[in-house]
Amino acid sequence: MLGAGGAGLARGLRAVRQAWLRGSRGRSVVLARAAGPPGTGDSRRWAGLGPGGRGLSLSAAAVVEAAPRPVQPYLRLMRLDKPIGRNQPLLVTIVFPVPSTALAQRTWLLYLPCTWSIGLAAEPGCFPDWYMLSLFGTGAVLMRGAGCTINDMWDRDYDKKVTRTANRPIAAGDISTFRSFVFLGGQLTLALGVLLCLNYYSVALGAASLLLVITYPLMKRVTYWPQLALGLAFNWGALLGWSAVKGSCDPSVCLPLYFSGIMWTLIYDTIYAHQDKKDDALIGLKSTALWFREDTKQWLSGFSVAMVGALSLVGVSSEQTAPYYAALAAVGAHLARQIYTLDIHRPEDCWDKFTSNRTVGLIIFLGIVLGNLWKQKKTDETKKKIDYVIEN
């Protein structure tokens, strides 16, 4: 009797579980659909059940879909539905935590040079200024959104000709050019509010970057080096972070740091550009991917050497310690492997290599923080030696 009851209970639990799974899968389709790497056209669910049906995540696309309908085109214009270029689940996991990422790749790539600079400007033995890190994080989100708006305004006619970009709000006619201009004004006003929290030197320095932000999208029409223009704009935070903490720039630290960031951008954005090179060639746009062609790996290797070399110079100028140089060694190994295994003819592989550059930036930041904390240890050891000599 107990056996029969237990079997019935087991059957009942299995039925409930199967019904719940069916419902969860149904809900996951509504909550999130993630497009694959640009140019591939495949789709998959990134939200929904984790491995073994253990969790349910809420995607960034679902949040945009849940917003009031008149607001949705503006959120898509900021790429909030595609925080790293394709839909990813937000950091919201229901039932059980499962590994997921919702980190905006482009926002990270804009933000990380700021964190390097802020970390280097910290006093020996101290962590970076958390207020500055959060302030620059907010600014990175706002300026990334503004950059997307500017890009789509300039490229609305080109976007209509490419399947991957034809559904962007301006190209699709969901937002008029005038309304996008007004929206851009709102984004830049909020970004200005963040900038005004800094010292006067940094306000002037930050305002000077606006010309780069506005003109970058035009560069792909006139030069095969638009990635260089992007590097000049995206790594401005390497100058701004230091000045926000110190009150002005130290050329011996800030200039090689800025240069290393530009080299980094040439690496990851050349890889990214290989995904769209066929469409770019058809519609008359230019990129380093089209210029380098089969010599891409040689160019990327040169950029990598220049990047690591410049970061080494930064370490010498800022009196960095062993953890920093260990991080540079790890970055060099990561870049070498990334370039060696890169297949420029496979968009999926280019996408994977592009996204791995967030790891590069985080390793550098970690090396800066640990290297700065190590300075205090060295200072303490030096003081003990001096005290010992004095006593004897």
Residues 343-356 have pLDDT tens digits of 999 999 999 999 99
- pLDDT at residue 55 in the model: 42
Mean pLDDT of 296-303: 98
Residue 182 CB: number of other CB atoms within 10 A? Answer: 11
- pLDDT at residue 381 in the model: 58
The CA distance from 85 to 64, in Å, is 15
- pLDDT at residue 231 in the model: 96
Rg of the Cα atoms in the chain: 24
The CA distance from 361 to 44, in Å, is 28
Phi-psi region of 248 (alpha: psi -120 to 50; beta: other; left: phi over 0): beta
Whole-number Cα distances in Å, 108 to 5, 86, 136, 181, 312: 56, 15, 11, 25, 22
Is residue 233 predicted with pLDDT exceeding 60? Answer: yes
Residue, of 319 and 13, whose pLDDT is higher: 319
The CA distance from 381 to 61, in Å, is 53
Is residue 226 predicted with pLDDT exceeding 70? Answer: yes
- pLDDT at residue 389 in the model: 63
Is residue 200 predicted with pLDDT exceeding 50? Answer: yes
- pLDDT at residue 162 in the model: 73
Mean pLDDT of 323-338: 97
- pLDDT at residue 155 in the model: 83
Cα 322-326-329 angle, rounded to 5 deg: 145
Mean pLDDT of 306-322: 97
- pLDDT at residue 158 in the model: 79
What are residue 91's phi and psi, to 5 degrees?
-80, 55
The CA distance from 257 to 324, in Å, is 14
Residue, of 32 and 359, whose pLDDT is higher: 359
Q: Which two tokens stand for residue 245?
A: 């903490």
Residue 157 binned pLDDT confidence (cut-offs 50, 70, 90): confident
Above pLDDT 70, what percent of the chain? 74
The CA distance from 166 to 255, in Å, is 39
Mean pLDDT of 124-149: 92
CB 77 within 8 A of CB 325: no
Is residue 99 predicted with pLDDT exceeding 60? Answer: no
3-state helix, strand, coil in the chain (%, to 5): 70, 5, 25
Residue, of 380 and 302, whose pLDDT is higher: 302
- pLDDT at residue 380 in the model: 56
Mean pLDDT of the chain: 80
pTM for the structure as a whole: 0.75
Residue, of 197 and 7, whose pLDDT is higher: 197
Residue 214 binned pLDDT confidence (cut-offs 50, 70, 90): confident
- pLDDT at residue 40 in the model: 41
The CA distance from 331 to 134, in Å, is 25
Look up residue 319 and give its DSSP letter. Answer: T
Is residue 22 predicted with pLDDT exceeding 90? Answer: no
Residue 301 binned pLDDT confidence (cut-offs 50, 70, 90): very high
CB 322 within 8 A of CB 371: yes
Mean pLDDT of 14-27: 40
DSSP string, 122-176: SPTT----HHHHHHHHHHHHHHHHHHHHHHHHHTHHHHTTSTTTTTSHHHHTSS-
Mean pLDDT of 185-190: 92
Q: Which two tokens stand for residue 122?
A: 């910290």
Whole-number Cα distances in Å, 3 to 12, 15, 16: 14, 18, 20
Lowest mean pLDDT among 62-66, 125-129, 324-328: 62-66
Residue, of 381 and 135, whose pLDDT is higher: 135
Is residue 303 predicted with pLDDT exceeding 60? Answer: yes
- pLDDT at residue 283 in the model: 85
Mean pLDDT of 117-144: 94
Q: Judging by beta carbons within 10 Å of its beta carbon (0-12, 13-18, 19+), is residue 96 exposed, middle or buried?
A: exposed
